[in-house]
Structure 1
Amino acid sequence: MPHSRAASRLAAASVAVALSLATPAFSQSEAPPKPGGTLEIGTVYVTLSALSWDLADWNWKQNHDTGQVYEQLFAADLSKSKRLGGKHSFYADAWIPSDAIRGELAEKWEWKQNPLRLEINLRKGVMFPDKPGVMAARELVADDVVFSFNHRDKSPKKIATYFDHIDKVEATDKHTVLFTFKNYNAEWDYRFGWGYYSGIIPKEVVDAGAGNWKNINGTGPFQLAEFVQGNSNTYVKNPNYWGTEKINGVETKLPLVDKVVYRTIKDEATFLTALRTGKLDILENIRWSAVDELKKSAPQLKWSKWLSMSGQFLAMRVDTKPFDDVRVRRALNLAVNKQEIVKEYYGGNAELFAYPQHPDYLGYFEPLEAMPDSIKELFTYNPEKAKKLLAEAGVPKGFTLKVQVCACNPDHIDLIPLLAAYYEQVGVKLDIQTMEYGAFLSAMTTKTNAPGYLMNNGHTNPTTTIRKSFVKGQVWNPSQWSDPEYDKKMDAVYLEPDESKRQAMLKEMTREILDKAPYVWLPTPYIFTAWWPWVKNYAGELRAGAVRPGPIYARIWVDQDLKKKMGH
């Protein structure tokens, strides 16, 4: 492994980043912000309540719910958003381009060699607030980073191989942390720096019971004040937060609002009404079918449109007959009229092909027209060939397929009858099981999911999108795909420090898995976000890390005078 090459490349990048580690300066034409007020949000996950508060549970949604409280070493540099003249939309669920990473709790970092090490210097004077019954106010120190890493690494729920590239993590002084690597890993920053499992949690919270929402306490801009299962998460301003933002030339203390409320609303009509009547300031997840009516009934709303960062598919368990036969899997792809779904079901508001790589992943994504004919065929409607393949595979009369679908996804509840109608034409009958989210997710994570599993799966980033779904033993692998040679290719990708070479390797792996069709590859819809004009310093940005919106919400301010003038 060429440690010196990896280290030199990364050291150069880290020096460049370190030169711009001051909190990014925002400039805009609006008036200076007036702090205060409450921000009511229907988030991207408006139908889902918090799943866990303990970071050691390795729950994907934890950054979404705790990322206002628990900070990380790195975060997205929001000063590089399109709204401010940059090139990034910050929609991706867990993809921060290498030129848009800033230090959050990290003030600077430097690569060292022989052995490969990363030295991180923490910001000084960052405080954990007082939390009665849990901990007294105290400064964040390097031992907190070490504890947080070990707390995650030793968890029995840890994703297999996730930290295998790390030899040890140690505090070399009060504000310096040293990560010693066994080998280079292309996702090093995502894995422990700004990813799903990177929050810095104090030992006192774990000792008090990290799974109890009443105990959580971090250095972030907000503190969790109340949680009502299935109803809301309420966050209040951390008055001692260290962060500031320069707006219109004025250094402004963060956060700008007094309170942020996540509303959990499972019924689509209800959350659309809440937006239309101003009970929600922002609704981040709106289906295309609701947009025209909202634009008529609430014409003052502002909008953004983004291609979903979750791939959509019907997984087929390849360890279950007849799905161990690629002919059956290909047949179930050919039996679905995917072009018709794009045109009629989504009204044109979808892309036929945008998974497992996402079009936003420049350098990694290949369009369908660039793919081999055998892959292009999977996106054409050919029920006669589907019947022929089923006959060749020994199931000429078809079969019954049990499919699990989540009640939390209105789109899938509407889509599954359409899929059933397509499959009926080739002799395949769907036995549909609708499940609440907790049971639906558990079925996959315990590998007890049905032979058919209709789901959305976050693209995450260009590397993880392949690893988490198609490497043996991974949690997000509902097809139970297992191929030792494919796993070896994945290992090689992570060891490769040259991004251009990684891109070529991942393109090859993407083609291979598409062709073997462990999934029925379904279209990816466009999603809409809407907000009222009184929401300022915002243009629809969604994530500043792995599903983590906290830094975005901390920079929003509410023009309360305008809100009153508009009758709300």
Structure 2
Amino acid sequence: MYETTFRRALLGAAAAALLCVGGVQAQDANKDGAKPQYGGTLEVGTMFVTLSALSWDPHDWNWKLNHDTGQFYEQLIAADLDKSVRKGGKHPFVADAYLATEAQRGEIAEKWELVDNPLSVVFTLRKGIMFPEKPGVMASRELTAEDVAYAFNRLRSSPKHIGGYYDFVGSVVARDKYTVVFNLKEYNAEWDYRLAWGFYTTITPKEVVDAGPNNWKNVNGTGPFMLTDFVAGNSNTYTKNPIYWDKEKLGGQEYKLPFLDKLVYRTIKDEATQLAAIRTAKLDLLETINARNIPELKKSAPQLQFAKRLSILGSFMALRTDTKPFDDIRVRRAINMAVNKKEIIEAHYTGEAEMHAYPMYPDWDGYFDSLDKMPASVKELYTYDPKKAKELLKEAGYPNGFTFKMQFCSCSADHVELAPLIAAYLEQVGIKAELKPTEYGAFLSAMTTRKHEAGYLMNSSHTNPTTSIRKSFVSGQTWNPSIYSDPKFDAKMDEVYRTRDEAKRKQLLREMTVEIMDAAPYLWLPTPYVYAAWWPWVKNYGGEMSAGSLRPGPIYARIWVDQEMKKKMGH
């Protein structure tokens, strides 16, 4: 099976030329300068096309919330999409939760300021932002500072919140109708992310909470769309908010948003069905496509437009450092040397992957060091050396290898194929991996309750430079599947958060990255390139993915569908 899969992958390796690491190759979907059109429906297979909404309530602290609710729940800050690569800027807006300071714009907030005495962040809100009427839930009314304070105080009261996440915040108060003040106990380098545009910064009104915030029929926000239908495992349907406040400036003229009448997320679990849907225009846009499928898709649907990006999801097998034999660094390093990562790139990923692009993302200027700049001890982990792997196993007391369970999600087509390849490599050094595919809900629950197997093959988002290290390797963190724990490492992370000077933070994080890679709590795996594809009637789009933290709502609000072109093309 192992050799057959590799041979098949090699035969299909007709990949597009690689771009610079982290870069995006995109076609401007409005390069002709066409005038915007109102109306129509956009059918999307999102970057999480296989996964249905996990929750509608921010109080649940689920990672996917912004992706599903970001069309109607807004935040204090969002991405300034006018600074996108497509519009001549330098920001691709593909990273899941990274917004450089110069790439931010006020959304609910009109302006904001970090104040030293007393230490606080003061947000001044836009006037006239309205909640639409939601029969049985709330009347139409203006958003105020009281809504912001209420939403944040509720968020941090959740028993599911990430430990320590809001510990740097003292109180959140509405100074007046349009001013909200976050009083801080101490400086935190992630203050803008954690307060204004992160995963857990959604503004949810009290009326929705009172009505039942996890019932999709009750949700209501100030964003460009309203959730009007939800079928678990099938679709989310969003309809235009007629009183949305924001505008898009094109050709010197301002246009009221959104352009679309309707936005539909399709949940499609099977990869072949996803490809058929974009090829036959049942989908207008498919956001994530395995690179090996692109050559055939270009042949069968030559009018499609494409954007290429380095995946925002790092791929690895977490090795539980609290469990034998993975509590021994020699065993963890041996596993890394036993897997031929170069061959995985060439065969499994048809050449379209980067050997080293996690836990730091290459687009993070000053935070990321390429593999050639790493010390020899780190480079060794990426070098296929089964002989040395066997020597290390012998040193650690496992001359005949051992058996362990490798758990992975059946929702990931990539990992369904990758798991047996990894197992085949490990078998060559005497390690037997028993494969355990798991449905997504159980897979995630196993990790969050610490009941996951000793080997846990997963993807995890890069997030941003500080969070990437904190969430994955600091003691007690939810998203720390290797259960890695080192008090000295934790103390360094605390220092990073206290450091105001970004140049110093960059230096500290580069050092911490080397340290954690050397410790090998993961089998470090390549990061693939992926593609988005859309039909030419999808306008004002160029492959942008996130306007905050996995939040595409402001991007979809600016897309329009050239309905006449779509009709002329037979769809």
Q: Deviations over 1:220-269 (max 9, x none)?
A: 00000001000000000000101111112221110000000000000000
Q: Deviations over 1:312-367 (max 9, x none)?
A: 00000000001110000000000000011111111110000101101111100000
Q: Tell me if 1:354 matches 2:357.
A: yes
**Equivalence map 1:157-168=2 (5 Å):** 157-168=160-171
Instruction: State which of 240, 244, 253 in structure 2 corresponds to 1:241.
Output: 244
Instruction: State which of 149, 153, 157 in structure 1 corresponds to 2:152.
Output: 149
The 1-side partners of 2:426 and 2:496 are apart by 37
Match of 1:138 in 2: 141
In the TM superposition, residue 29 of structure 1 has moved relative to its aligned partner by 4.4
Q: Deviations over 1:283-306 (max 9, x none)?
A: 000001110000000000000110
Over 3 Å counting, the alpha-carbon distance change for 1:28 and 1:251 in structure 2 is farther
In the TM superposition, residue 201 of structure 1 has moved relative to its aligned partner by 0.3
* 8 Å contact kept, 1:28–1:84: no
**Equivalence map 1:139-288=2 (5 Å):** 139-288=142-291
Q: Tell me if 1:454 matches 2:457.
A: yes
* 8 Å contact kept, 1:27–1:249: no
Partner SS for 1:171: strand
Partner SS for 1:503: helix
The 1-side partners of 2:114 and 2:64 are apart by 31
1:242 maps to a residue whose letter is W
* 8 Å contact kept, 2:30–2:539: no
2:97 maps to a residue whose letter is A
Give the TM-score of the pair, scaled to structure 2. 0.94
* 8 Å contact kept, 1:50–1:61: yes
Partner SS for 1:313: strand
Q: Deviations over 1:61-91 (max 9, x none)?
A: 0000000010000000000001110001100
2:65 maps to a residue whose letter is Q
Match of 2:480 in 1: 477
2:420 maps to a residue whose letter is P
**Equivalence map 1:270-349=2 (5 Å):** 270-349=273-352
* 8 Å contact kept, 1:39–1:261: yes
1:195 maps to a residue whose letter is G
Q: Deviations over 1:383-441 (max 9, x none)?
A: 11111111110111111110111011000001111111101101111111111111101
Partner SS for 2:485: coil
Q: Tell me if 1:54 matches 2:63.
A: no
The 1-side partners of 2:268 and 2:478 are apart by 27
* 8 Å contact kept, 2:30–2:541: no
1:314 maps to a residue whose letter is M
Match of 2:446 in 1: 443
1:478 maps to a residue whose letter is P
Match of 2:566 in 1: 563
The 2-side partners of 1:110 and 1:399 are apart by 56
* 8 Å contact kept, 2:472–2:480: yes
Q: Deviations over 1:139-192 (max 9, x none)?
A: 101010001101110000000010111111100101110111111111101101
* 8 Å contact kept, 1:167–1:180: yes
Match of 2:392 in 1: 389
In the TM superposition, residue 113 of structure 1 has moved relative to its aligned partner by 2.3
In the TM superposition, residue 111 of structure 1 has moved relative to its aligned partner by 2.7
**Structure 1 residue ranges, 4+ long, deviating more than 3 angstroms after superposition:** 26-29
Partner SS for 1:112: strand
1:262 maps to a residue whose letter is Y
Where does the alignment leave 5 or more consecutive residues of structure 2 unmatched?
A: 1-28
* 8 Å contact kept, 1:29–1:248: no
Match of 2:33 in 1: 30
The 2-side partners of 1:423 and 1:118 are apart by 51
Give the TM-score of the pair, scaled to structure 1. 0.95
Q: Tell me if 1:116 matches 2:107.
A: no
The 2-side partners of 1:345 and 1:194 are apart by 36
Partner SS for 1:421: helix
Match of 2:419 in 1: 416
Match of 1:93 in 2: 96
The 1-side partners of 2:451 and 2:503 are apart by 38
1:507 maps to a residue whose letter is R
Instruction: State which of 99, 106, 111 in structure 1 corresponds to 2:109.
Output: 106
Match of 1:8 in 2: none
Instruction: State which of 540, 545, 550 in structure 2 corresponds to 1:547.
Output: 550
Instruction: State which of 477, 497, 502 in structure 1 corresponds to 2:500.
Output: 497
* 8 Å contact kept, 1:27–1:248: no
The 2-side partners of 1:330 and 1:167 are apart by 43
Partner SS for 1:304: strand
Instruction: State which of 431, 436, 439 in structure 2 corresponds to 1:433.
Output: 436
Partner SS for 1:168: strand
* 8 Å contact kept, 2:475–2:485: yes
- The alignment covers a number of residue pairs equal to 543
Partner SS for 1:548: coil
The 1-side partners of 2:31 and 2:304 are apart by 20
Match of 2:491 in 1: 488
The 1-side partners of 2:116 and 2:336 are apart by 49
Partner SS for 2:465: coil
1:435 maps to a residue whose letter is T
